[in-house]
Amino acid sequence: MSSIAIEKLAAAIGENVYIDVAKWHLYLRDAHLHTPLAERFYPMLTKGNVSDSQINEVLQSIPVKLGGGKLEVPLSDLLPMQSRVHLVDALEEFQRDL
């Protein structure tokens, strides 16, 4: 795995994708979730197109702790539709540049 490529993908995700909590937009770089996402998506992107179901599977597999760890919610439940669109766009753009 190329750490430079993963960092580039993580940066694109972190700058464009956010979770929505009480109408506050918390970008994934600020929540420190951009790198784990990039590490999971990078191998998929190098093998070909990533399907919506694969994206959803990855998002559901990443727990986000809330309230000091009292509650865990899958990342997929915290991303509004517009943020998912930004994620797909970032993945597609990264894959074109491979």
- Per-residue confidence in pLDDT tens, the chain, 98 aa: 689 999 999 999 999 999 999 999 999 999 999 999 999 999 999 998 899 999 999 999 999 999 999 999 999 999 999 999 999 999 999 999 98
Helix 52-60 vs helix 34-47: angle between axes, to the nearest 10 degrees? 150
Helix and strand element counts for the chain (H, E): 5, 4
Structural domain count, the chain: 1
Q: pLDDT at position 52, please?
A: 95
**H or E segment to which residue 73 belongs:** strand 71-74
Q: Which amino acid is at 31?
A: A
**Can you give the pLDDT at residue 49?**
83
Q: Can you give the residue range of the structural domain that contains 39?
A: 3-97
| Residue whose structure tokens are 């760890």 | 69
The pTM score is: 0.93
Task: Please tell me the predicted confidence (pLDDT) of residue 1.
Answer: 60
SS3 66: strand
